[in-house]
Amino acid sequence: MTLGYFGLILHGHMPWCKKSGTWPAGEEWLMEAMNETYIPMLNILRELKENGIKTSINVNITPILAEQLADSYMKDRFSEYMEEKISRCRNDIKRFENHFERKRIAEFHLKNFEHVYIFLELCMSSSYFSIII
C-alpha cells in the first residue's frame, strides 16, 4: 500500500467593505464571513489542538482581509453585529413560545451566536494566532 500525504490549503479574501454600507455587499458581508466561517474555523483548530490532534493545514488571507480583521473599527462593528444577532434570537425565543419548532431553531441559533461571541472575546483578549499555534 502506498502512503500519501494530504495538504489542506484554505485561502480567504474579502474586498474592502469598511464603511461601505451594510447589506448586501457592505460591512455585513464581512460580518457574516467572520461569524459563519473565520471564527468557527479558528475554534475548530483550537479544539483540535486542545485534544492533541495534529493538523497539517495552511490558512492564508489577502492583505485586504487581514487589514479589515485587525481594524479596531471593524472589531467593534462585529461585536455590535453579534450582540444584535443574540438580541434578535432572544426576542424570537419569547415570540415563538407557543411554536415549538420555531423556538428550537431560535435556541439553536442563539447557542451558535453566543459561542461565536464568547470565542470572539477570547480572541480579542489575546492574539488570534496564539490560540491555535
Residue 56: partners with Cβ closer than 8 Å, 6 or more residues away? 5, 6, 7, 8
61 by Cβ neighbours in 10 Å (0-12 / 13-18 / 19+) ranks as: middle
Is the pLDDT at 37 greater than 70, yes or no? Answer: yes
Predicted pLDDT at 123: 73
Amino acid 114: pLDDT: 95
Average pLDDT across the chain, whole number: 87
Share of the chain above pLDDT 90, in %: 43
What's residue 21's pLDDT? 75
C-alpha cell at 128: 488570534
Question: What pLDDT is attached to residue 131?
Answer: 47
66-119 per-position pLDDT tens digit? 999 889 899 899 999 999 999 999 999 999 999 999 999 999 999 999 999 988
